[in-house]
Structure 1
Amino acid sequence: MSETSLPPLNWLRAFEAAARTLSFTAAAQELHMTQPAVSQQVKALENHLGRALFVRRTRSLQLTEAGRIYLPTVQEAFETLGKGTRMLIGGDRGRVLTIHCNLAFSVLWLAPRLAGLYDRHPWMVLNIVTMVWDPKSFAPAADVEIRYGRATDDPPGSVRLGEDRCYCVASPDLEIAGEDWSRHALFDCAGIESNWEYWLAARREKLPRGRVINLATTYSVSIMAAANGAGLALAHDTLADALIDKGRLVKPFDTEVPLLEAYFLIPAATHNQTPASRAFEAWVLRQFQTD
């Protein structure tokens, strides 16, 4: 290893948490990772350094001499990074919060409720980071994450938000004859399991051969296309409730099915909790309970 070859930050964070807790399992819970992922990152760091940092026993973990020497250096480096970051963002990390969530959730759920959040916590400053695909590549930079994924894939340390239903939505101005959905353009979000085939199966129907679905990489496009009269879209409670309440969307059919995906709140790690993260997480949970 050359003198300038620094290991990746996530390897160092996994080592610091495991060394402080003397447990890969506890470190995984703290970092919202799986235990094998923490173990693999620590092993990668050991290979990078060319020496063992832990003595691994059946039910215990112990630092080697190299690990004991290295730990204070890593902890001091993280503290220095933390201080520098706090200075950069204005010296008050306690009120500044970076939130990572997908575009549809940000636009259709979070943004309409921000006035209520700021009424309750006027001191809070939010940096909202959105993405379409691959949330894991951006999430490490955020303090709090709200992730959308399969309901069976609960991220470690996460809290599931709500039990959504999936249904068809349309503009109240769209003329629909009885139960006939087939005359209209169909819109949906790509890459999800709660799709038109899933919804139609509950009606014991199928898409006609060759029928085309208009796909977007975010519900923001498909739902707003329906709201503006372009056709029918599939939606679910978290994203569509407010638009339905305001009369911008209607449910033209009674068919509703359980959403196969779900939203998960992934809180800030214990050692990264701040007044802003605690206040925001509590507010989100209250909002979903109220909804």
Structure 2
Amino acid sequence: MLGGMERPRIPSLNWLRVFEAAARTESFARAAAELNMSAPAVSQQVKALEGHLGMPLFIRHAHAVRLTEAGRAYLPSVQMSLVSLESSTQGLFGRAREERLYVQAVLIFAQGILAPLYGDFTARHPDIALNLTTGNATEDFAHAFADLKIVFGAPSAHGPAHDRLIGEVLYPVARPDIAERIGTPADLLAHPLLEVATHRAGWPHVFSHLKMLGAGARFVMVDSTVMAAALAGSGAGIALARAPASNPVVAAQGLVPCLPGVSVPGLEHYHLVYPEAATLRRPARVFRDWLLESCATIARG
């Protein structure tokens, strides 16, 4: 007893490993495959942890699970603890067969840059298990645990150390049947213009480059380039491509440039953010070097 209260027992390490995998994959079945367990065994371990803590960590659905508020609050601490234990074990007793690395990236960068390069990284570094999660809003990055974070815009809001990766180039894109009706910049104003609210550089920035006021423009506000591209693909309006990160989603939606030859440099860049270089674990240092090299190659075209 301590101060009249019972000291809580630390949960089983197996329970925490299973919880982390299920939370990350949002599926007991996928967690079971990753951990070489059965799905019922994963469910049993999670129930044991929830019983130990005295509250539910997941909301169960038919084919997926979702973290409760308590689960979301607990996950970063669990991930940090597992990483710390892994690092200590490797430092004292030699490198493990596989080191786990947590990277969180803004969605469009993850889809457009990291996904196409994922195979290259894993082929070069099969000893590093890369766990990639995404976010969009600033708050998505504020409380989540990651060794490295890839953000767009001001990096200092996310960590004290950072590397500039790549910028963006903007140009209007639409379905081919809409794009063929755009002969001059003024023709853009006849269509709804899909605007990403979180970006400093948007349609007003493009209008300024084209030396037009944009009076009468009809904006449809969305929260991401992925959503803007999806709406443009459905014929809902004209979006702004943000190359090179948006290249795959633009191609997947069948979008084409509305004004070939028109491109406008953006105002912000993607940054790799971390606490400080001296504290990075080995897999994070390896990933950082690889990503800087890869982005330099992309920037050179």
Q: Distance in 2 between matches of 1:268 and 1:155?
A: 6
**Residue 199 of structure 1: how far off its partner (Å):** 0.8
**Which structure 2 segments of 5+ residues have no match?**
6-79, 90-94
The Cα offsets for residues 247-286 of structure 1, whole Å up to 9 and x where unpaired, read as 9433222332221121011246345423321221122112
The Cα offsets for residues 166-220 of structure 1, whole Å up to 9 and x where unpaired, read as 22222345332312212222112112210111111111222334x4312221211
1:98 aligned to 2:102?
Answer: yes
1:167 aligned to 2:174?
Answer: no
Higher relative contact order (CA 8 A, sep 6+): 1
Matched letter for residue 220 of structure 1: V
Is this contact kept in 2: 1:94–1:275, CA < 8 A? no
Residue aligning to 2:137: 133
Q: CA RMSD in A?
A: 3.5
Q: Distance in 2 between matches of 1:80 and 1:150?
A: 30
**Residue 92 of structure 1: how far off its partner (Å):** 4.8
When normalised by structure 2's length, the TM-score is 0.59
Higher mean alpha-carbon deviation, 236-245 vs 109-118, is at: 236-245
Q: Distance in 2 between matches of 1:273 and 1:152?
A: 18
User: Quick one: structure 1 residues 86 and 249, their matched pair in 2 at CA, closer, same or farther if it must change by over 3 Å?
Assistant: farther
Matches within 5 A, 1:45-60: none
**Residue 149 of structure 1: how far off its partner (Å):** 0.9
Is this contact kept in 1: 2:112–2:247, CA < 8 A? no
Residue aligning to 1:20: none
1:285 aligned to 2:292?
Answer: yes
**Residue 144 of structure 1: how far off its partner (Å):** 0.5
Matches within 5 A, 1:238-253: 238-242=244-248, 248-253=254-259
3-state secondary structure, aligned to 1:260: coil
When normalised by structure 1's length, the TM-score is 0.61
The share of aligned pairs that are identical, in percent, is 25
Q: Distance in 2 between matches of 1:106 and 1:205?
A: 33
Q: Distance in 1 between matches of 2:155 and 2:201?
A: 11
1:237 aligned to 2:239?
Answer: no
Q: Distance in 2 between matches of 1:113 and 1:147?
A: 18
User: Quick one: structure 1 residues 290 and 249, their matched pair in 2 at CA, closer, same or farther if it must change by over 3 Å?
Assistant: farther
Matches within 5 A, 1:107-118: 107-118=111-122
How many residues are aligned here? 212
Q: Distance in 1 between matches of 2:218 and 2:191?
A: 11
Residue aligning to 1:223: 229
Residue aligning to 1:259: 266
